[in-house]
Amino acid sequence: MRWLSVLLIMLVAATVQARVSRQWTENRTIDNSSMSWSIPTGASDVTIETCIAMKGPKDTRGTDPCSWQLTLALVDGSRRDITVGWGNTDFGDFSDSRYLEVKGVSSGAKRFTGGVEMYSGDNTLVIETDYPDKAKVYIGNDVMNYVGEIDLRSPIREVAVGTSGQLELAIMSIECEITDNLDSGLDAEGLAAACEAGQAAPMGLWHYFDRDNDAAYARPGGLYSIAVVPDREESGSYLILYIDGAKVNSSKWKSGMIKGRLTPTKFAGRYLLEWWDANMERVRDEANAIVEPDMLTLNFPLLHSQMRYSR
């Protein structure tokens, strides 16, 4: 079951999913330089997967000069570096063993003599965050080998790949869930102004009027009062603010929090609608709104649901 702040939505074939951000880069050459990717603000459950072939590693005495590094820049200004390099234990001796070494995990450097590419083939490095304070690291060319953990203690704001030498980046995949910031930033004075009578639609205070919904898809979640104010970040758009009336997750919803967004279309009085349900997850699939002087109608056609608000 999913609760809109107005309705409890129970989808028959699918449920509203948390918003997911995906970045995908492939087939890039990096030569003694670096490449970076930004992580959206509010991201959680970040998974980073990169497949890289380093050019030039070969048998050598001690540590190979070729290496590459994946850097996590954190919001608090610190960084975490995961370095992938190679070497030989006893070059020229019958007991010599070639290894791949990963540095930067909490337990210290870790060497692998199997399950990884020892020379110029592909190795895949995976980092899976386990917020709030750590991430797990894996590497391999066929099966994934567990390397260890990274201490985070702050969200990731940027991922970068750098190299001493030349590498071929086959894939960089970054996936994360986004937690929307629903703080409108309005203080008590601003919220009072938003609720003043006499404002031109769609702005001003609106109260629950009635609903039309299929009970198999939606059930009442509360009789809400909302306010509509201009969106300071998007000219021509409006924010819908929660005022009161919550029965579902009522302790989480505070007066002034963002409940939705109206984006204008080419049709007068018709808006695209984004809506945040009572679990604070975004709902926007084909949702729309109709604004009249004294009536605001919110439509969720895929959910067989409609809510009307009056002045």
User: At which of 178, 205, 236 does a domain end?
Assistant: 178
Nearest of 118, 62, 65 to residue 92 by alpha carbon? 62
Domain check: are 77 and 10 in the same one?
no
pLDDT above 80: residue 97: yes
Q: What is the pLDDT of residue 40?
A: 83
Domain check: are 148 and 204 in the same one?
no
Q: Of all residues in the chain, what percent carry a pLDDT higher than 90?
A: 62
What number of other Cβ atoms are within 10 A of residue 80's Cβ?
A: 20
Print the SS3 string covering the chain: CEECCCEEECCCCCCCCCCEEEEEEEEEEEECCEEEEECCCCEEEEEEEEEEEEECCCCCCEEEEEEEEEEEEECCCCEEEEEEEEEECCCCCCCCCEEEEEECCCCCCEEECCCCCCCCCEEEEEEEEECCCEEEEEEECCCCEEEEEEECCCCEEEEEEEEECEEEEEEEEEEEEECCCCECCCCHHHHHHHCCCCCCCCCEEEEEEEEEECCCCEEECEEEEEEEEECCCCCCCEEEEEEEEECCCCCCCCCCEEEEEEEECCCCCEEEEEEECCCCCEECCCCEEEECCCEEEEEEHHHCEEEEEEC
Kindly state the average pLDDT of the residues 70-92.
92
CATH of the domain at 170: 2.60.120.560
What range defines the domain where residue 141 resides? 20-178
Domain check: are 205 and 286 in the same one?
yes
User: At which of 119, 146, 178 does a domain end?
Assistant: 178
What is the spatial distance between Cα 72 and Cα 159, in angstroms, rounded to a whole number? 5
Q: Please tell me which of 74-78, 176-180, 218-222, 239-243 the model is most confident about, judged by mean pLDDT.
A: 239-243
Domain check: are 172 and 298 in the same one?
no
Nearest of 223, 179, 174 to residue 25 by alpha carbon? 174
pLDDT above 80: residue 58: yes
Domain check: are 58 and 203 in the same one?
no
pLDDT above 90: residue 36: yes
Q: What is the pLDDT of residue 248?
A: 82
What is the spatial distance between Cα 177 and Cα 17, in angstroms, rounded to a whole number? 10
Residues facing residue 201 across a β-bridge? none
User: At which of 149, 178, 207 does a domain end?
Assistant: 178
Q: What is the pLDDT of residue 292?
A: 96
What is the spatial distance between Cα 280 and Cα 277, in angstroms, rounded to a whole number? 5
Q: What is the pLDDT of residue 258?
A: 93
What is the spatial distance between Cα 241 and Cα 182, in angstroms, rounded to a whole number? 9
Domain check: are 167 and 200 in the same one?
no
- Across the chain, mean pLDDT equals 87
Domain check: are 77 and 162 in the same one?
yes
Domain check: are 36 and 167 in the same one?
yes
**Residue pLDDT, tens place only, 254-292:** 899 999 999 999 999 999 999 887 767 777 778 999 999
**Residue pLDDT, tens place only, 222-255:** 788 999 999 988 889 999 999 999 888 888 888 9
107 or 271: which leads in pLDDT? 271
- Please indicate, yes or no, whether the overall pTM of this predicted structure exceeds 0.85: no
Q: What is the pLDDT of residue 219?
A: 63
Token pair of 254, please? 């505070």
Nearest of 168, 166, 115, 162 to residue 138 by alpha carbon? 115
Q: What is the pLDDT of residue 14?
A: 30
